[in-house]
Amino acid sequence: MYRRAAFVLFLACGIVFQLSHGVEVEVKDQDKLCLYANLMVNFSVSYDIAGNKSATAEFELPANVTTVGSECNDKSSLLKLNFGEGHSWSMNFTVTDKMYQVDSIAFTYNLSDTTLFPNSLNNDTKTSTVKPHITDIGLDTCYSCKSNDMLEDVSVNQTLFDVLIQAFVNNGSKSEQITSCAADVPTASPTTAAPATTTKPTTTPTTTPTPTLPPPATGNYSLKNDNGSTVCLLAYFGLRISLKQGDKYEEMNFEPNGTTVSGSCGVNSSELVLLSSTMNFSFTFLNDAKKFRLHALNVTGKTSSGVPFTEANSSLSLWEASVGSSYMCNKEQNNTITGLLSIYTFDLHVQPFGVKKDSFSTAEECFLDSDLSFLVPIAVGVALSFLIILVLISYLIGRRKSRTGYQSV
């Protein structure tokens, strides 16, 4: 049965209040609690300004929000937080069997708000919708995640943290049972003792060199347009990541066999999503009408010891080439994505826009593949030689002048 929720504040006035640890919301239906949330959200929004430039607005979910539009139902619930001049942030929850999840998060922002978006070229109201990895929450439990959870779209980044949520509250009382996110789950310490029969001295993990991985298998990936008639994105590469864990680095090859390929093709933005049993990649490419480039990369997965990780960067400028051509780099490339994550590519060939006849267009090669790459060490050597000669000449001239000055005295 559909029910429209009644909303309460601490003083029962329908406005949300904020504690020092976040915005706390209690949505009630017939004076009984049906949805609870306590969370913090930071926003980063890119928008157009004069001079063919863009600006970035960074702000957080404020204290003075309202819950107009929130709803509770038996199979679905909606938490909607409204703030500022026409902005809102909402979570849509659904129930499956004895579990519930967040199906989507929608952020609507009004570019005519000069306080948040000064000098904006347009006054549009836009909505960014993302699908978070908030699933498998047991009914009558709270979902808790203190760790940062970054949700990325083309122009909007959202970071959730210090989250405590319970949808579909039973009997009007918030549960004391917690379902923690993977990032908050502590990892087990390696306390397993060595077998008592061991007679040879053991080698500590810190002194054991990491074995060199073989080259990763090369994957051939493609996307088709909405009607499935033509290919709109092509990618061909082998992929390896290097993840820093404390003082150590772990390298893992991405296995293309069994990988699920999805994504979307657009005029200005295209996305390639690769899902495997161990790692998931989301590549976002931008097109500025002249050049395309890899703009954002999100990597999630688990280490060999089962520790989950998520690393993302939405301000990249990699794999750049002219629109209408493809980008190629046959040699091994190493790109730093975050302070903890680097990726290595092998036999890279990508074209996220302007694919014709289901095949790559003429490739623009990376510098490592060009005929000029071998000249770099030669040029450096020649420059150093000239520098040494100049220093030597300056020294001899200076010494001669000093001796001439002494003799004139």
pLDDT at 375: 54
Question: What pTM, to 2 d.p., does this model score?
Answer: 0.46
CB 87, CB 110: distance < 8 Å = yes
What is the set of domains in the chain, with CATH numbers?
Answer: 3-181 (2.40.160.110), 218-369 (2.40.160.110)
pLDDT in tens, 234-255: 999 999 999 998 888 999 999 9
- Averaged pLDDT for residues 86-100: 93
Residue 117 pLDDT more than 70?
Answer: yes
Find residue 101's DSSP bridge partners: 94
Q: Which of 314, 310, 338 is nearest to 132 (CA)?
A: 310
pLDDT in tens, 153-194: 888 999 998 899 999 998 889 998 999 898 887 654 444 444
CB 127, CB 107: distance < 8 Å = yes
What is the secondary structure of 274-305 as a DSSP string? EE-SSEEEEEEEEE-SSEEEEEEEEEEEE-TT
